[in-house]
Chains A and B, each alone.
Chain A
């Protein structure tokens, strides 16, 4: 019985290596390439105001202010609509590029998200 366990263990290790070499990725590995980033909206500012992420990353915008805000792309490719105090909104950035955004209600509040082709 002890010998069989050893063999199974070795086979298991081989399978994982094969997957890492280019086979379909196990669920855990996919999750690891989609990390979450949080942008806080506090004191009429996006914090941090500039974020660099890999394609596939989900950004959560959380409003910490008593005054409502939005996170709205200048090119309208995303729009949180009005976020009240403590409300949050998530968006997945799948395409690499530079996304400039602002608060529709307080347009002097600006932020930028750089999405790189990384994560492969």
Chain B
């Protein structure tokens, strides 16, 4: 397994953290208030509807709070993408509750499944019944918007090991990117991190390197994932990785606990480690900003 060049932990501030994606491939922190009026979208992740444990006894409430915060944004995003683990146990009633809350978003909603959304054949059926897209029968899809090519990948269907895209999806991806110009900005969405973030805890996609190899020729690639319930950024050449905070509960930083899992923080601290992410694109510049719920 290839070692990552570096692993950067990013803390929260009340106003959120922002990074500009510079042309030299350097992520520079900027003031979160410096927002433009360009095209934007929002990423939310890991809502775990149906979770009832001390780490968050009201996951529906924190998701509703997230939706309210997004609805209050002065410049509404072009869409909101949920990068998986919408539910905790893929149950019909959990999908129903999630749909009700997410249905109040002002912006259009796109989703991807996490491994909690597709537990067994029954879970898979429930996910597709609740959030399936007619034009994405396999679960993965891509589209073009505002000059950006968006690719939504699914790395939770075929779990021979942790996170796997599978040959069928890789073949689809090869075809999908073949017609794209190298200077087209690419935004890749998925649940489990595509690179070996922390394989000891299964925080990796085994065949992710094959997908990343196909993206090497593009001048700007931004990969947005969930799964690990915390913000970690990573750069590998032209590819910048951002994992997102959850709307449900945090998880320990890699290696700081025996195993991953729900991390219980003091109750008055919880909202400061949950949140959503805005991505603004203004011409050639992209700004990724994380906002907490506190």
Q: Which of A71-120 contact B (CB under 8 A)?
A: 72, 79, 81-82, 84-85, 104-108
Q: How many A-B residue pairs have CB under 8 A?
A: 54
Contact in complex: A85, B88 (CB < 8 Å): no
A65 to B258, CA, bound (A): 12
Determine the chain A residues whose CB is within 8 A of the CB of B116 once the complex forms.
Answer: 68, 82, 105
Contacts of A104 in B (CB 8 A): 115, 119-120, 159
Known contacts A85-B53, A105-B119, A107-B161: A67-B260 contact under CB 8 Å: yes
CB closest chain-B residue, reference A44:
B259
Pair A67/B119 contact, Cβ less than 8 Å: no
Return A71 CB to nearest CB of chain B, in Å: 11
Residues of B151-210 at the interface with A, using a CB-CB cut-off of 8 Å, are 159-162, 202
CB atoms of A68 and B161 under 8 A apart: no
The binding surface of chain A is classed by DSSP as: loop
Q: What's the least CB distance linking B89 to chain A, in Å?
A: 4
Q: Mark B225-259, 1 if CB is under 8 A from A, else 0.
A: 00000000000000000000000000000000011
**Which residues on A sit within 8 Å (CB–CB) of B123?**
81-82
Interface residues on B, range: 20 to 34
Judge whether B120 and A79 touch: CB under 8 Å. Answer: yes
B90 at the interface (CB under 8 A from A): yes
User: Are B261 and A65 neighbours in the complex by a CB distance under 8 Å?
Assistant: yes
Contact status of A81 and B122, CB under 8 A, knowing A44-B259, A107-B160:
yes
Inter-chain contacts of B122 with A (CB < 8 A): 81
- Does residue B80 face the partner (Cβ distance < 8 Å to A)? no
Asked if A57 CB lies within 8 Å of chain B CBs, one says no
- Asked if B262 CB lies within 8 Å of chain A CBs, one says yes
Is A43 located at the chain interface by the 8 A CB criterion?
A: yes
Is A43 a contact of B259 with CB atoms below 8 Å? yes
- Say yes or no for B59: interface residue by CB 8 A criterion: no
Residues of chain A within 8 A (CB-CB) of B67 are none
The reply to whether A68 and B258 form a contact with Cβ atoms under 8 Å apart is no
- Nearest residue, chain A, Cβ from B158: A107
Q: Is B102 an interface residue (CB 8 A)?
A: no
A68-B219 Cα distance, complex, nearest whole Å? 40
Is B55 an interface position by the 8 A CB rule?
yes
Q: A66-B262, A81-B119 are in contact. List 17 more A-B contacts (CB 8 A).
A: A44-B259, A66-B55, A67-B260, A68-B88, A68-B89, A68-B116, A70-B120, A72-B120, A81-B120, A81-B122, A82-B90, A82-B116, A85-B53, A105-B119, A105-B159, A106-B162, A107-B160
Residues of B within 8 A of A (CB): 53, 55, 88-90, 115-116, 119-123, 159-162, 202, 258-262
